[in-house]
Structure formats: structure tokens, C-alpha cells
Amino acid sequence: MIDLANPVVVAAGCGGTGRELDALGALDGIGAFTTRSLTLNARTGGPVPRFAETPSGLVHSTGLPGPGLEIFLATELPWLVARGMRVVVSVTGASVAEHAEVARRLAQAPGVRGIEVDLAVPDARAHGLLDVREPFHAANVVAAVVREAQDLPVLAKVRSDVLRVAESARVVTDAGAVAVVVGGPQAAALPDGRPAGLSGPAVLPLALRCVTEVRAALPGVPVVGCGGITTTADARSFLDAGAVAVQVGAALLHDPTTAARIAADLAGGPS
Amino acid sequence: MAAPRARRDRVAGDAGVKSPFHTTGEVLASKRVGAFQHLTVVAPGVAERFRPGTFVAVSVDGTRLARRALWIHGVRPVGGHGPALQLVVEPVGPGTRWLAERPVGTRLEVTGPLGRAFALPKEPVATLLVGEGYAAAPLFPLAERLRERGCQVNLLLAAPDERRLLSALEARRSARAATVVTADGSVGRRGSVADVVAGVLAQSAAEVVYAAGPVPTLHAVAAAAEQAGAWSQTAVEQPLACGTGLCHGCPLPVVGEDGVARVVRACTEGPVVRGDRVRWAELAGARPAHGEPA
Ligand SMILES: Cc1cc2nc3c(=O)[nH]c(=O)nc-3n(C[C@H](O)[C@H](O)[C@H](O)COP(=O)(O)OP(=O)(O)OC[C@H]3O[C@@H](n4cnc5c(N)ncnc54)[C@H](O)[C@@H]3O)c2cc1C
Ligand SMILES: Cc1cc2nc3c(=O)[nH]c(=O)nc-3n(C[C@H](O)[C@H](O)[C@H](O)COP(=O)(O)O)c2cc1C
Ligand code: FES
């Protein structure tokens, strides 16, 4: 997979451009930085309100705003690389062809360490993105990305549906993904009924269960655990369940230093 | 989520550093004035970096993930603690009520100062500062900086009623001219900013207008400034989830320097933006479609 100096990774869409965390000293010691899910062309994102609070959770539907791949490659990526970050670029799109085109261009971009295919967008259809519901759809997308990615490792972030997560993980690794990211947002709705994702501590037990399901079914597949991690103890639960790394997402919105703190704790050795 | 923990704080107070700071602060004082709770919070490293127009993001109530944004009303040295933040809270919902009820000694997770500050004029020109409700908070330290530069300061303060009028007394002391309007007429003239801003602007002959308040108020001020040929800076409040630029939850539709329509993050590319750059009609309710250029 990707060689990480520390198992703590910034989750997609929760770390801004990287500069905002760095200004707070909050990238120090981080294993890798995952970008927000990028599309070929720029997107303004969805309507407001884009989030709602729920006890121990955040319901969100940003509509994946982003600068488009070219501007990302010209402005955001060089800074991250110069900063010494291991960069994993998350990708999404409206079609299999768009995913493939983005992967083709990323394969030429200096400094990218890996591609993470976001197959877990909980509000994809509402935002005009490919709705990857069935495992065989996911396999198609992953195969197309792997074909274009050349030597770049491809990770697949699968839907965190406890009953089907092991099957999803199997088909995407059969399609060429070197690892799976397990435990993204749960499909949810904003108070006005618009489709959205639910993240934060509320989803941790579900994410942990997803990790154990995949580990049991596919002991040879590296799993990156993600979902509701806010403390070092949370991260250890995922690592103890067999995850090779963990991603920290929504907790950064609450305390931007969370990932750096957990990374430092883990680097300090077992306790 | 708010459990005390060891943190590798960077050295506080390195002068000139503009980047924000994340730290555990402490409520030193809490005082009710009208409808507002005035908090004094010591937050080492944050106060030193303050410029008028910036804000802090604070964590509230254990299980709440989103942060609450508060303008920095001022920075005041407190014996034995160094510079402390002055904050003004209007309790309107669970988070702001929680903050307003905190006893002295409560520890608070604070990140700041965040966002773009008010830009100061290079020349000593006449200025008009327009503030409504608690949002007038950043205008008081701004008035001080402007006077230091030899700028003439005129104030227009507005509120629904007297209880939500911020420091009218202090305003009268610190400005050359202060106009007060309230919706119910309980103090000053009865009316709204939109009713009086053009007249006040003409009287003050201000070349630069600063405004902080609800979106319709900012829109009225920006329009009046444009009409009068004045330059305006508006401090825009949008619902924020993080306040630190991480989540893209706070879209602000603007027109860039290059004339191209964009959506930026209110917390990071704002909150202070040029009034003639904001696409006010879209901010007021119309929803931008997905797919157009960011
Ligand atoms: C830059 C900025 C500066 C501000 N300064 C002050 C200040 O000095 N004093 C003060 O009393 N209030 C200020 N506000 C508004 C204040 O942040 C909100 O009233 C507060 O977040 C509401 O939280 P709540 O839990 O009490 O209410 P709720 O309405 O229940 O809030 C629920 C959620 O919506 C968000 N939210 C709701 N309304 C707003 C809003 N107007 N702005 C931002 N987020 C919102 C909250 O963060 C929270 O996630 C400021 C807002 C911004 C953007
Ligand atoms: C505001 C927000 C934006 C997100 N954007 C993305 C994204 O662009 N791509 C993606 O794969 N996941 C995205 N996610 C999901 C997170 O990466 C993560 O998988 C999920 O939130 C669960 O982990 P957490 O509870 O630690 O946040 C987003 C989450 C949030 C809260
Ligand atoms: S509130 Fe999160 S980016 Fe502005």
C-alpha cells in the first residue's frame, strides 16, 4: 500500500486545502493528507444550509465544492508536496469516464502518493454525481481508475453499510484496489429532507463493526478505518480491530488539532 | 469531546504572527448587559494576534460538534493573565445559551483569530461605521485603530430595541458623531439602518464605510455606499460548522477581482469582504446550483 510514517490520516473533505491546518500547527506528525473528493471540472457545491448538528454528530451535504482538477494540480498539490505531506487524492465524478480521466491526469502529477476513489458519497444523486449503489458499479469505477493510475496505488472508500461492506470490499479489491477505506459517512438526511451524510462520534460503533466485518471476510486486505474518531483510544480500537491506519474527519471541525494530537500520542508508543 | 488534555501549544505571543491559534481558554468574567452576556476570556496566543473584524470559534457543550463563531469585541489586559478577549454573546439557541450561562473559571476551547479583518484606509479619510445588535462588537476596536490613523469616525448603531443596542454610551464617547436607531424607537430614532443610512452617509461625507450586522442590513449599506461613491467593507455572518476553513459549509457568493462569479468560504475568504463584491441577492435566499464554476 502506501508507506506511512504514522497511521493517522486526515480524512477526505475535512482538512480544507491543508494550509488551514498547517497554520495551526495541526499537520505535524500526520501520516498522510487526503484531499476533498475532486472532480474534473470546478463545482460550487450545493445549497445552504449545508449542515445540521445532531447529538455527537454532524449531518452534512456540501455538494462537493472544489476547484476542479487542473487548479488543484496547479495550486493546492504543489503546496502540500512542498510541505512534505504524503498526499492521497480523493476522486469522484459523474461517470466512469470522468473518474478515469481524473486518474489519468493524476498519474502524471508529481508528488501524488495514491488515489482514493470515493464510492461512499451519501448524497451523490442529489449533486449530479455517479451513485455507486451496487458493488458491481463500484467494481467498474475502480477497474477504470486502476487502469489509468499506472503505478499509483488505488484505495477504494466503500459505503459503510454493515450488511454489504464485506462484499463491497471484495469486489473492489478484485478490481485492483490495494486497500479499502471503511466507515465513511452514514446515509442520512438534513432536517428539510435533503439527502446528506452523517459523521462524527455517533457513527463510530457502525464504522468499527464495518472494519471487523471486512477483516473477518478478507484477512489479506489492508483496511483503513474511519468514522467518529476523536480520541487516541478511538484510534486504538480501530487499529486493534486490524486496521492498518485510521482517518480523522469531522473531529477536525470541532478541534482542528485532533489528528495531530492522536498522531503524537500513537508515536509516543503504546500506553 | 471537551475533556482536558495535554497539548503541544506553540509559544504564545510571537509578535506579528497572523496565523490563528488553538488553545484552552478560561472565562475570567461574565456580565449581563441588557440582552447580551459580556464575557472576558483569557486565551493565550489568540488575543495577541487580534485585528478588528476577526472572530473566534469556540466549542460548546460536550456533544456538539459544530463550533460557535463570536466577534472579538476587544482585547484588554487583565491583571495576572495578560491580554484577554472581550466577547459579546446574544443567547439565541443552545450553544449561545450555554456560553451565556458559563460560570467564571469555565474552560473553553478557543480557536482564533480567524478570517479576514477590516482593511484600514491608507489616508486619514472620513469613515462611517454601521453596526446592528451584537454584530457592532468589532466596530469599537476598529474605531480605535481608525482614530489612531487620523481618520474621522462616524457611527451608526442599530438594534431591535434598547436591550440589544451595544454600548451606545461608549459609542457617543468615541465617535465624532453617533446616530442610534431602534426598530421600536425605545432609544434614538425609530427605524432601521436601511431607512437612514443614505442620509447619515451624506452628512458624514465618509469615503469608507464599514458594516457588521444581518445580511439585509449589510446589503442596504453596500448599496448606499455604492450610490454615494464610497468604498464599503462588510462583515458577513453565515452559519458556520467549523469556522476554520476545513468543511466548506459556509458558501459566500461573490464576484472576484477578475469579474468572475465565485463561491468562497465565508469563514476564511471572509468574513470581511468588499460590499460591492458580494452577490447579495443570492445570499438572501436564492440557492446556487451545483456544477457552475467555483
Ligand atoms: C463571523 C461570525 C461572528 C459572530 N459573532 C457573534 C457574536 O459576537 N455574538 C453572538 O451572539 N453571535 C455571533 N455570531 C452568531 C453566532 O455564531 C450564532 O448565533 C450561534 O452560532 C448560534 O448557535 P446556537 O447553538 O446558539 O443556535 P442555533 O441556531 O441552534 O445554532 C445551530 C447551528 O447553526 C450555526 N449557526 C446558526 N446561526 C448562525 C449564525 N448566525 N452564524 C453562525 N453560525 C450559526 C451554529 O454554529 C450551529 O452549528 C457570529 C456569527 C459569525 C458567522
Ligand atoms: C463536511 C464533510 C465533508 C466531507 N467530504 C468528503 C469528501 O469530499 N470525500 C469523501 O470521501 N468523504 C468526505 N467526508 C467523509 C469523511 O471523509 C469521513 O469518511 C466521514 O465523515 C466519517 O468519518 P468522521 O466521523 O471521522 O468524519 C466528509 C465529511 C464531512 C463531515
Ligand atoms: S465553516 Fe467550515 S469552512 Fe467555513
**Are A34 and A72 a contacting pair, CB within 8 Å?**
no
Q: How many CB pairs under 8 A join A and B?
A: 136
Residue B160 has pLDDT above 60, yes or no: yes
Q: Give the three cell numbers for residue B22.
A: 488553538
Residue B292: list chain A partners with CB under 8 A.
Answer: 44
For the segment(s) A8-267, the CATH number from 3.20.20.70, 2.20.28.90, 3.30.450.20, 3.30.56.10 is 3.20.20.70
Is B3 among the domain residues?
no
Residue B288 has pLDDT above 60, yes or no: no
Residue A16: list chain B partners with CB under 8 A.
Answer: 244-247, 268
DSSP character string of A63-83: ---B--HHHIIIIIHHHHHHT
Phi/psi region, residue B240 (left: phi>0; alpha: psi -120 to 50; beta: rest), is beta
Residue B16 has pLDDT above 50, yes or no: no
Kindly state whether B66 is in contact with chain A, defined as any CB-CB distance less than 8 angstroms: yes
Average pLDDT, chain B: 89
Look at B176 and B193; give whichever has higher pLDDT: B193
A66 lines ligand 2 (CB under 6 A): no
Of residues A21, A47, A254, nearest to B1 (C-beta): A254
The pLDDT score that the predictor gives to residue B166 is 93
Given a cut of 70, the residues of chain A with pLDDT beneath it are: 1, 269-271
Task: Name the band, by pLDDT with cuts 50, 70 and 90, for residue B167.
Answer: confident
H helix runs in chain B, sequence order: 94-100, 139-148, 168-174, 193-204, 215-228, 280-283
Q: Is residue B282 domain-shared with residue B178, that is, in the same domain? A: yes
Say how many Å lie between the CA of residue A16 and the centre of ligand 3: 9
pTM of the model: 0.94
Among the residue ranges A176-190, B172-186, B194-208, B210-224, the one predicted with the least confidence is B172-186
Task: Name the band, by pLDDT with cuts 50, 70 and 90, for residue B13.
Answer: very low
Mean pLDDT (whole number) for B2-17:
36
Say how many Å lie between the CA of residue B97 and the centre of ligand 1: 11
Q: Of B114, B142, B165, which marks where a domain is finished?
A: B114
A199 lines ligand 2 (CB under 6 A): yes
Q: How far apart are CA B44 and CA B11, in angstroms?
A: 9
Residue B15 has pLDDT above 90, yes or no: no
Mean pLDDT (whole number) for B49-72:
95
Q: B8 to chain A, minimum CA–CA distance in Å?
A: 8
CA-nearest residue, atom 26 of ligand 2 = A249
Residue B86 has pLDDT above 80, yes or no: yes
Question: What ranges do the domains of chain A cover?
Answer: 8-267
The 10 Å Cβ neighbour count of residue A268 is 9
**Are A226 and A249 a contacting pair, CB within 8 Å?**
yes
A200 lines ligand 2 (CB under 6 A): yes
Residues B248-282 have pLDDT tens digits of 999 999 999 899 999 999 999 999 999 999 999 99
Task: Name the band, by pLDDT with cuts 50, 70 and 90, for residue B285.
Answer: low
Residue B50 has pLDDT above 60, yes or no: yes
- SS3 string, B164-227, reads HCCCHHHHHHHCCEEEEEECCCCCCEECCHHHHHHHHHHHHCCCEEEEECCHHHHHHHHHHHHH
Is B258 among the domain residues?
yes
The pLDDT score that the predictor gives to residue B170 is 75
Question: How many structural domains compose chain B?
Answer: 2
Q: For B268, which residue in chain A has the nearest alpha carbon?
A: A20
Residue B292 has pLDDT above 80, yes or no: no
Residue B287 has pLDDT above 70, yes or no: no
Residue B6 has pLDDT above 60, yes or no: no
- Nearest ligand to the CA of B54 is 1
Mean pLDDT (whole number) for B77-85:
90
Rounded (5°) CA angle A231-A62-B234: 100
A127 lines ligand 2 (CB under 6 A): no
CA-nearest residue, atom 7 of ligand 2 = A13
CATH code of B56's domain: 2.40.30.10
Task: Name the band, by pLDDT with cuts 50, 70 and 90, for residue B11.
Answer: very low
Q: Is residue B148 domain-shared with residue B270, that is, in the same domain? A: yes
Q: Is residue B87 domain-shared with residue B154, that is, in the same domain? A: no
Atom number in ligand 2 closest to CA A35:
8
Strand-pair category, B231-235 with B272-274: antiparallel
Kindly state whether A230 is in contact with chain B, defined as any CB-CB distance less than 8 angstroms: yes
In chain B, % of residues over pLDDT 70? 89
Q: Is residue B110 domain-shared with residue B170, that is, in the same domain? A: no
Domain that holds residue B203: 126-286
Q: How far apart are CA A247 and CA B5, in angstroms?
A: 20
- Backbone φ and ψ for A205, nearest 5 degrees, come out as -60, -35
Q: Is residue B138 domain-shared with residue B206, that is, in the same domain? A: yes
Task: Name the band, by pLDDT with cuts 50, 70 and 90, for residue B88.
Answer: very high
Mean pLDDT (whole number) for B120-140:
97
A62 lines ligand 2 (CB under 6 A): yes
Is B10 among the domain residues?
no
Residue A50: list chain B partners with CB under 8 A.
Answer: 241, 248-251
Probe site for chain A from B58, B248, B269 (most A CB atoms < 10 A): B248
A13 lines ligand 2 (CB under 6 A): yes
Q: Dihedral of the CA atoms A11, A16, A20, A26 (nearest 10)?
A: 0
